[in-house]
Amino acid sequence: MNIDQQVAYLMQGTAYGDESLKEAMAKELRERLIAAEKEGRPLKLYCGFDPRTTDLHLGHTVPMRKLRQFQELGHEVTFLVGNYTSLIGDPSDKDVLRPQLTSEQVEQNGRTYAEQSFRILDKEKTIIRYNADWLSKLTFAELIKLASNFTIQQFMTRDNFKKRWEKGDAVYLHETFYSIMQGYDAYALEADVQVGGSDQLFNIMTAARKIMTSQGKDPNIAVIVDILPGTDGVVKMSKSLGNHIPINTNAEDMYGKMMSIPDAAMPSYSRLVTRWTPDIIEAREKALADGSLHPRDGKMQLAYEVVSTFYGEEDAERAQDVFVSVFQKKDVPDEMPEYQLETGQILLDVLQASGLIESRGQGRRLLKQNGVKLDGKVITDPFLVPGAGVLQVGKRKFVRLLAAA
């Protein structure tokens, strides 16, 4: 790729909420790429990930996909584990106080976090760092100096803090430290580029760039990626909302969930969680618009691309075959309610809890009459412990079962 193609590729799927700001960052990125090429060095970039949970879903991988794009172009990528910032918890996307984790909880969550990222990142080309290495060594005098770059007004105009303030809810002083700590991460890593979600706009565009400048460094370039919508196509993907696609599942489950997203969400998924370049995405969207590519076929291609990223071509092929045989050939709808299984839960309980039956007696009768199917296969054992799949009662009742957490 030439420089202009690289900029287009790296800015794909970004969202700043202000077109002039996006243009300014694209211009800075172009200039930094040209300068690095002349100096014969790669750009240094990173993204920070706070291991507050081990249950990663597809939305968590959006910034990882952006890091991978930089890797493909030969740049130096650092996967920063926020084992120190996790002790506070990022308030950026919350209008309530995040609970503080203990160092033991953070350490336990962080054990598998980076390993999961290697489903996308090139393990051999990824540097793993931990921000406790420098944040834990800051003195109080140094923190005062860093904090002097900010005003209370800057924090209180942030939407999440503003909502809490107006409701009369507490806004704790330690929450403002998070942005300062993240800004210092960029300085400590001497980053040319910092990747983050659009909920990180203040932390990257304001805090990190201001701190780097105050410390005598060139400010990092903010590559702000958009937020991936959930399977409802509207709200941010979230496990708590039940609209997520977990990455620690299986190929068939991931493929089925990808096929459940509404057609309108396909452009977002194409830009944020695929390996497709801008020209490929543009051609697909044109084909969808003029009718030469049917939405169902387009979505199957999208599902295959995403699943193959995590599970490989062979498993993606198998998942597609299962979908075609179970759904397309047996008139199973793409969209249906979902039910989160509990560990050890038997079929009879699942049928009642998911709303497919009104009583256990009704459930036993349907099972005896071969009226219950799981992924197209008749099930008669009420004590079966089902896994992820599509549970069907009669001809018209369907629930997608999600694997137990």
- As to burial, measured by CB atoms within 10 angstroms (0-12 exposed, 13-18 middle, 19+ buried), residue 107 is middle
Which tokens is 327 given?
């759904």
CATH class of residue range 338-402: alpha beta
Residue 329: predicted pLDDT: 59
Domain boundaries, the chain: 3-225, 251-328, 338-402
Residue 96: predicted pLDDT: 44
Contact 368, 380 (CB under 8 A): yes
Residue 314: predicted pLDDT: 94
Per-residue pLDDT of the chain (405 residues; tens, 9 = 90+): 899 999 999 999 999 989 999 999 999 999 999 999 999 999 999 999 877 666 788 998 999 999 999 999 999 999 998 888 877 755 544 444 445 666 676 766 766 777 778 888 999 999 999 899 999 999 999 999 999 998 888 888 777 788 888 888 888 887 888 889 999 999 999 999 999 988 888 889 888 999 999 999 999 999 999 999 998 888 888 877 778 898 888 898 899 889 989 999 999 999 999 999 989 999 999 999 998 999 889 999 999 999 999 999 999 999 998 888 776 656 677 678 889 999 889 999 999 999 999 889 989 989 998 899 988 888 999 999 988 888 999 877 889 898 876
Name residue 99's amino acid: P
Nearest to 338 by CA among 236, 227, 229, 246: 246
Whole-angstrom Cα distance, residue 399 to residue 51?
32
CA angle 108–55–355, rounded 5-degree value? 135
Residue 93: predicted pLDDT: 46
Residue 358: predicted pLDDT: 86
Architecture of domain 251-328: Orthogonal Bundle (1.10)
| Homologous superfamily (CATH) for 3-225 | HUPs (3.40.50.620)
Residue 31: predicted pLDDT: 96
Contact 316, 251 (CB under 8 A): yes
In 90-167 the beta strands, taken as DSSP E runs, fall at 126-130
Which tokens is 189 given?
């890593």
In this structure, are strands 193-197 and 377-378 parallel, antiparallel, or unpaired? unpaired
